[in-house]
A and B are shown apart, each in its own frame.
Chain A
Amino acid sequence: MTYGISINVNGTQHTNEVESRLLLSSYLRETLNLTGAHIGCDTTSCGACTVLLNGAAVKSCTLFAVQANGATVTTIEGLATNGELHPIQEGFWEKHGLQCGFCTPGMILSAYDLLQRNPNPTEQEIRHGLAGNLCRCTGYHNIVKAVQYAAEKMSS
């Protein structure tokens, strides 16, 4: 069965006919060609597929696109404004918060959710806030520093 959906993705309203079983991650990557949300585990464990759904960070591999009908979705492609990096993206750049970059879109969007709720997190709170996102490269230290950089920049 196909269903008509209308989703605002990164500020643009998209209207499509989709199969009910199409996952939001596949919709974003294959229908809209937004490949920033990565598929790591496809089993709700790694957070590489994280996007913001009405402002809250969620695993897009564990959600059907039809569930997001009428919602606002932000992917990593939608974070920079007019070519200017978001402070969290800048933090990852400045603090070397990435190596291969596979986890980075998810990390950044989880950090976005965290800083929205808690603009001045402690190191512990950052680590807990990113608990749903796995990184196989960095050992997390520079990711924490990147989020601290962003928190400071965003509150100044």
Chain B
Amino acid sequence: MSATTSTPVGDTERVRAMLGSADAGRKRTDRMMTGLIYAAFVVAMIPLVSLLWTVVIRGIERFSPYFLSVSMRGVFGGMDAGGIYHAIVGTLVITLVAAAISVPIGLLTAVYLVEYGRGPLARVTTFFVDVMTGIPSIVAGLFAFALFAIFFGPGVRLGVAASVALSVLMIPVVVRSSEEMLRLVPNELREASYALGVPKWLTIIKVVLRTSVAGLTTGVLLSIARVIGETAPILITAGYADSINFNPFEGRMATLPVYIFTQYRQGTVPCAPGALDCVEDINLMRAWAAALTLILIVMLLNLVGRLVTRFFAPKLR
């Protein structure tokens, strides 16, 4: 208070003028930048929306409970039949097994790096995780294929081989994202726990992992999203099948991306004129509907992740 009263009148005037006058140039820049940012947003949305639109419009044609619940067994030519049940099963089984392999390995690696890792071993681990991040998926597929060929003979095609190939791609993503999440847990919480006489391993499980579980879930889901659309490594390792196979340890397996790929490759069917049960572009229609299904599965996964996050996130009130 006393500061304002002791200010000379001229100063007061100046301050008032300064506060009241709007800087026209700055306002213009502000408006321009706002416009630019909105424009950038719209430009970024165009491909996304158009992609979704195309997939939905084309996929919806064949998308039906029937399509979701039958396999391609005994379907040939332009037959107005067949579905993706076997491919959904394959995608879920292979991805689940891949996650079952990668999540423990990735999470434990991250825990090691954040909670225990010191010195050369930690640096080497970090380095190799970085290297793994850059492995092209086809190389991962070849690796898994070669690995299983050693044990089961050349030319073996197994669902679990595909899972191993996907794990090679998943593990670095899980390690990286989990590591970041674990580092976000404030040290104060660890110390609070130690100070209560809680051993380190229990502190890690019940405080560190528990506090970061929402972020960890997001990381795992991201890594799943990263591999669920992989085609090449699965084609190499699990091949393709027309019929349903629940067992990743025996026989070929189809997945949605590979299904899409094979359907697309078959292209249009030359129908004999007047043939009743023949749709010319049935294969392409199936491919689009399968693509739609794949997108829906990923969205469903994200929804589950959101729910987990909401349920486990630290609450304030």
Partners in one complex: no
**Interface on B for A, CB 8 Å cutoff?**
none
